[in-house]
């Protein structure tokens, strides 16, 4: 059976989506039965750089090292190969679906996939200081905890 792919999407792929990728990889490492899944992230406006220093610091405090990560631009190929696409905001979801309506069955906001029905956005912490990053990380971690079983079952 081929490996399934979960793709996280944010704007620059230097804060939220690499943090989500790090959290999900860590959650998958802790399951009793290994899950064959590839976790990726991309940005609508990525430039190939590292995560912000605040994202790295925040994740180190969580016990996760994302310092070696490099951002990547969201491409048509990534959208096609992903089995599940989780965006950080409804705007990003809508942007993807406006260009790729055929992906409707696999594109959700992370919070929507976690069962939330209101406030589906995870706010961008970029430029807002370390506390904003910590708040963002907590929100991502909590959403992934709620959605984890569903993510594993969907891939």
CATH value at residue 86: 3.40.50.2300
Average pLDDT over residues 62-90: 97
Percent of the chain with pLDDT over 70: 99
Write out the two tokens for 30: 């802790």
Helix axes 16-29, 130-154, angle to 10 degrees: 50
Average pLDDT over residues 104-111: 98
Write out the two tokens for 150: 């569903």
| Catalytically active residues, by annotation | 10, 16, 124
Residue 108's domain comprises 4-154
Q: How confident is the model at residue 148 (pLDDT cuts 50, 70, 90)?
A: very high
Residues 52/73, Cβ–Cβ less than 8 Å: no
Average pLDDT over residues 41-54: 96
Number of domains present in the structure of the chain: 1
Residues 153/142, Cβ–Cβ less than 8 Å: no
Write out the two tokens for 40: 């990726």
How far is Cα 6 from Cα 122, in angstroms, rounded to an integer? 18
DSSP 3-state of 91: helix
Residues 28/35, Cβ–Cβ less than 8 Å: yes
Question: CA geometry: angle at 18 spanning 132 and 87, to 5°?
Answer: 85
Q: Taking the mean position of all CA atoms in its chain, how far away is CA 20?
A: 4
Mean pLDDT, the chain, whole residue set: 95
> Max alpha carbon distance in the chain (Å)?
43
Residue 141's CB: how many other CB atoms inside 10 A? 19
């Amino acid at each position: 059976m081929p490996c399934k792919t979960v793709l996280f999407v944010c704007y620059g792929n230097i804060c939220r989506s690499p943090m989500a990728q790090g959290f999900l990889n860590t959650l998958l490492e802790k399951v009793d039965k290994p899950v064959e899944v590839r976790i990726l992230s991309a940005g609508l406006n990525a430039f190939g750089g590292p995560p912000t220093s605040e994202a790295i610091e925040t994740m180190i405090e969580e016990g996760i090292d994302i310092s070696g990560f490099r951002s990547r631009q969201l491409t048509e190929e990534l959208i096609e190969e992903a089995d599940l696409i989780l965006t950080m905001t409804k705007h990003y979801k809508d942007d993807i679906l406006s260009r790729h309506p055929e992906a409707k069955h696999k594109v959700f906001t992370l919070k929507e996939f976690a069962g939330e029905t209101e406030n589906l956005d995870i706010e961008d912490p970029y430029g807002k200081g370390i506390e904003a990053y910590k708040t963002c990380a907590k929100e991502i971690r909590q959403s992934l905890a709620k959605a984890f079983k569903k993510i594993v079952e969907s891939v």
